[in-house]
Structure 1
């Protein structure tokens, strides 16, 4: 975990201790198991087939590969002199594809020095505009600064691809950045409605419940608890240096929120409850993707959160 994340965690300790944890967040959805650290599209993530197209999705599909300006986190391809650049505006449907991109710095040159954050120098995410098909990858970088993300098969529609990183030198050294671009996957695209509210969700026999007291623009503590057959799960294995990884996207504009664990994994077994620093910039529905590992298998589940 970067020094920036540690500083945020310590600074927020007093505030989060005063927040009431009595509000049970809405949660639903299901995921799938994977034996590696890469997530691929999962049947449980494609939550239906009823057309439910938003105005923002229409706008994005009309300009594949363009950079949508927004005040939301991670919704631009350039920030503070850093830019996510790619020649790919479309990707084929129904088969895996390599997405290649570079991060250029304020001097216009590809950045090759990145700090390690949660054991990786680059976290890469893909999500469809209806918040299905989530993928979390850790691409490889060539010597010239070109990153290659091996995406699993994508369904037709518009996808937003995010690069989360921290420069290790230059004017952005130590600053966490999230940049993104969109790609079009040709074919008949049908959006799925966001699942209804629920207090918990089950994936691969594990039940995940999430609690917190979330208000837009305010820092709070979010707690996730994992059980199996009604019993607490205490054999969570480290994944990316922690016992669970959380990422969230805002319904409609797909603003990005990376929810940071309050503690690192300090052994080879963890659970059942895990706490995170949670701060959402906007109110409304957020789709949360929680990943944890047991018995060498990575589990991914999706939860719908309502932020006031």
Structure 2
């Protein structure tokens, strides 16, 4: 997939789970794809236009260029970023488990309902799954890419344990299995009870470690301009050249903007079996940050049959990440699936 993807603003509701309140804030310019994927169905969710703002009335439809009617790279102030809404295009994310207790295993249950309140049971499969679920804390320290299972009646469930009390955001990324339906990312707030102390966001660093792997980040984010990020994986000082496909790619990158959790699921430039993309050590992505600010990047990669996540903090100063190591593989910065 030769895809350059800009960061689609994800969840202003993250202020409640990651910082204070998940309430939807001011609309921001989204990160939209620079060019369409060559093979993957687009997994990054396009922003939907606000009704009455000259858009598509919140349907999520695009013009085929990866944007919502404007040229690539154009900022759009009249769009609602993906993940900021619990309802869109006639579908609603119904979080049946709105509260959990920190440190205790819980069953997270939810459903997607249509305009008549019926639970959706038909989904279009993308990257091997009917629905992708992301859970993140408002402080952007905790991140989970979960794989829930669906019952026949349309109820989804997955076990989850959150490490600390506070606010979390649940993102459901899916495409209804009906003719002409567009992909959606809906978001809802999850509260975790217990003693709470807000952690600080890790400082920017050029490396992260997880389970004995070292991931190096090269490149930076520049607001309004495409830039390339390359994440290279090594183990015991040696480059990993046999990364394994995970959900149809050698790496999956989720970017969340600090403050409102603007979200984008980015796919790499190239894909397994295209005759040009090597299975490591480097996985490259082309992205455009919509605004100045701090972003948290989460890279999922698979090796020796295990999916691991490396996390980075990046500021949009146009400079490459600092070439110093960080403890990105401890605590909640990284994890296995």
TM bracket, shorter-chain basis: 0.7 to 0.9
Q: Report 1:67-216 matches (<5 A).
A: 68=24, 71=27, 72-171=81-180, 173=181, 175-216=182-223
TM-aligned CA deviation for residue 301 of structure 1: 1.4
| Distance in 2 (alpha carbons) for counterparts of 1:294 and 1:188 | 36
Q: Does the Cα contact within 8 Å between 1:257 and 1:280 map onto a contact in 2?
A: no
| Distance in 2 (alpha carbons) for counterparts of 1:75 and 1:58 | 15
TM-aligned CA deviation for residue 271 of structure 1: 0.4
Moved more, 149-158 or 176-185: 149-158
Call closer, same or farther: CA 1:69–1:154 in 2, change over 3 Å.
same
TM-aligned CA deviation for residue 217 of structure 1: 4.4
| Distance in 2 (alpha carbons) for counterparts of 1:227 and 1:249 | 25
Q: Does the Cα contact within 8 Å between 1:56 and 1:253 map onto a contact in 2?
A: no
1:114 match: secondary structure: coil
Match of 1:307 among 295, 311, 316: 316
Structure with the higher fraction of residues in helix conformation: 1
Give the TM-score normalised by the residue count of structure 2: 0.67
Call closer, same or farther: CA 1:281–1:81 in 2, change over 3 Å.
farther
- Deviation per CA, 1:82-131: give whole Å up to 9, x if none: 21112332112211111111112345432222222222111111111111
| Distance in 2 (alpha carbons) for counterparts of 1:289 and 1:58 | 19
Matched, 1:248 2:255: yes
Q: Does the Cα contact within 8 Å between 2:87 and 2:186 map onto a contact in 1?
A: yes
TM-aligned CA deviation for residue 264 of structure 1: 2.5
Name the counterpart of 1:38: none
Q: Does the Cα contact within 8 Å between 1:208 and 1:224 map onto a contact in 2?
A: yes
**How many residues are matched?**
254
Q: Does the Cα contact within 8 Å between 1:103 and 1:111 map onto a contact in 2?
A: yes
Larger RCO (alpha carbons 8 Å, 6+ apart) = 1
TM-aligned CA deviation for residue 286 of structure 1: 1.0
TM-aligned CA deviation for residue 159 of structure 1: 0.8
- Report the RMSD for the aligned CA atoms in angstroms: 2.8
Structure 1 alignment gaps of length 5 or more: 1-5, 16-53, 61-65
Q: Does the Cα contact within 8 Å between 1:211 and 1:222 map onto a contact in 2?
A: yes
| Distance in 2 (alpha carbons) for counterparts of 1:279 and 1:186 | 36
| Distance in 2 (alpha carbons) for counterparts of 1:57 and 1:295 | 33
- Deviation per CA, 1:190-217: give whole Å up to 9, x if none: 1111111212222222221223353334
Call closer, same or farther: CA 1:302–1:57 in 2, change over 3 Å.
closer
Q: Does the Cα contact within 8 Å between 1:123 and 1:163 map onto a contact in 2?
A: yes
| Distance in 2 (alpha carbons) for counterparts of 1:55 and 1:84 | 17
TM-aligned CA deviation for residue 304 of structure 1: 0.7
| Distance in 2 (alpha carbons) for counterparts of 1:210 and 1:110 | 42
